[in-house]
Amino acid sequence: MKMEILFKCGSEMRVIAVIQDVTEIKRILKHLKKVGGAPPGVDYPKLSD
């Protein structure tokens, strides 16, 4: 995996957790949308499936 360099501090980005449970991923994305910090490219209408 190619590691990305963070622009603010210049250090490498590290993976600290992997979430594989689809239900949990949907729950987290819905919360992020609600608080205004949602990542781009998420198809929110499909999250209600």
Alpha-carbon torsion, ordered 18, 12, 8, 35, to 10 deg? 0
Read off the pLDDT band of 4 (50, 70, 90): low
Q: What is the CA radius of gyration of the chain?
A: 14
- Buried/exposed 27-49: b ≥16 CB within 10 Å, e otherwise: eebeeeeeeeeeeeeeeeeeeee
Q: What is the structure's pLDDT at 21? A: 95
Q: What is the structure's pLDDT at 47? A: 74
Mean pLDDT of the chain: 78
Q: What number of CA atoms fall less than 13 Å from residue 8's CA on the CB side? A: 1
Q: Tens digits of per-residue pLDDT, 25-37?
A: 888 888 888 888 7
Beta bridge partners of 12: 5
